[in-house]
Each structure stands twice: as structure tokens, then as C-alpha cells.
Amino acid sequence: MHASTLLVSLLGASTAVIAAPTWPAFNWDAAKPDGLETVSEYFNMLAQKIEVGKLMAAAPVCDMTKALMVAAPKPLDPPSAGLTLKHVAIGRGTQNYTCDLTNATAVPVQVGALATLFNASCVAATYPDLLQLLPKLALQFNLTAQEDSRMGPTNLIISGKHFFTNTTTPFFNLDTTQYTLGEAGCSKANQTDAPTDAPKGQQGEKAVPWLRLKTHVGSTGNLQEVYRIETAGGSAPSTCVGQPAAFEVQYAAQYWFWEGQTQA
């Protein structure tokens, strides 16, 4: 998973991204001054870790057994017995909704999501405090349109895509030119509301729920379960008043991928 390479890229972000040709646009319409405070917190935290890194005799080893997923409240069950953590990613994209404009009392209906997944495995294993900040940070920036999209002011490498194959089936493709981690269609096992203090969206939207997903038979890479936690933004308005027939709401989240030898 190129963990050590990822860490070096992350720790070099404060200088490397300045010269990058695809520097992302800060969303000035996002919630302020919280957005600027989040970016400042990220760079301050990053600077501290760079200083610590200078004193290390060798680069940190990204041991995935040291990555600890936040325990969500019930009814979000823990990973099934026998599963091991395979990958952690930050998803940045949109939650997608439709509205029935012929119905004056209609409410938005979710029809899927679309997100780019960025490899945060090494961050999860080494710097959990930085990992917790990343979804909120990602929401302050718009993804660039190019294939080499970057997630805000980070050098996290793209590790996959998240989309829906129909209105009820989330799909994760973690097979890229740099990684071969597997593909999986999923079904929702259970969910729980995001904490009340979860980061709001660019227009003040609530964070979407935390999810536990189970993969379908036929998934590759021994992927068994997927968790969406530490969400930021993404929720639809309570009614369709003033909304178009189809619209998107920006969001970000942590995704934790668990693997096992048999279908859970």
C-alpha cells in the first residue's frame, strides 16, 4: 500500500503542494470562519509532525494493526470476528438527491453518492489526530476536475472511487494503477446518526449518518465490511421547497475497509 511513501508525501505537503499544478480551490462560500480555522489547524498540526519527523532515525512504519477505528454508538456493530483492517480512505464527493416537483410536500430522496477515495491508511496507523481532522479539512476545498485530483492541501494518493450501481447499491472500486485492493458492491447492515458536533457542510448541512456495510458475494480482495464514519456534511434539506429535480450536497468521510477469507 506504499505506506511509507504516503507518509513522506504527507509530511512534505506543506512545501510540495505549493508548486503543484492542480492546487485545489478553497471554497470561500463554505462555513466561515470555521473553514479558515480548520485549514490553519491542519497546517499547525502538520508542522508539529514534520518537526518530530526530523528527529527520527528512520521513517515511521505504518503498521495497520495500530490503526484504531472509532467505536460508534449502537446500533452500529463492530467488525465481525476474524476480520482485519485492510485500508482506510478519506472519501470526498457528493451525496445525490432527487425531488418530485409535482408534489408540494415532497422531501428529498437519496439516489446515490459519488466520491473519490484518498489513501489515508498510513495516517490512520501513525497520526490518528490528523486523520480525524481530514474529512472536515477536505470539505473546505473543491476537488480538481483532472484525474490527478488532490484532496485539499494534502498529497494523499487516490486509492479508488465510490459510486452507486443503482439507487440502493453502494460500490467501491479500490483497483487503480497504483493499488489492487479489490472491488465490492455493498448492502447497508445498520447505521447511526452522526454526532451532534460533527462538521457541517459547505452550506451548513448536517453530517450524513455513520454506516456499516456488508459486501456482496463476488466482491474481490477479500473485502467483507466497510464503515463510513467521521462524516462531514452531505445531508439534504428537510423539504424540496426551492430545490431542483436533482441536486448534490458536498460531503466527506472516513471509510474503513475490513477483509477476511470468507464472505461474512
Each residue's pLDDT expressed in tens, for the chain with a length of 264 residues: 444 333 444 443 333 333 333 445 666 555 555 777 877 777 676 666 554 554 445 555 689 999 999 988 888 999 999 999 999 999 999 999 999 999 999 999 999 999 999 999 999 999 999 999 999 999 988 876 655 577 878 889 999 999 999 999 999 999 998 899 999 999 999 999 999 999 999 999 999 999 999 999 999 999 999 999 999 999 999 999 999 999 999 999 999 999 998 654
d(CA 26, CA 79): 36
pLDDT of amino acid 2: 43
Tell me what pLDDT residue 82 has. Answer: 95
- Mark out the alpha helices in 110-251 (DSSP H runs): 121-126, 128-138
Q: What DSSP element (H or E) covers 9?
A: helix 3-11
What does the DSSP 8-state code read for residue 234? Answer: B
**CB-based contact 115:250 (threshold 8 Å):** no
In whole angstroms, how far apart are CA 23 and each of 65, 85, 93? Answer: 33, 31, 17
**Would you state the pLDDT for residue 52?**
53
Q: How far is CA 256 from the centre of its chain?
A: 9
pLDDT of amino acid 17: 33
Tell me what pLDDT residue 11 has. 42
pLDDT for res 219: 97
**Residue closest to 228 by CA, chosen among 97, 70, 108:** 70
What sign has the CA pseudo-torsion 128, 81, 215, 191?
negative
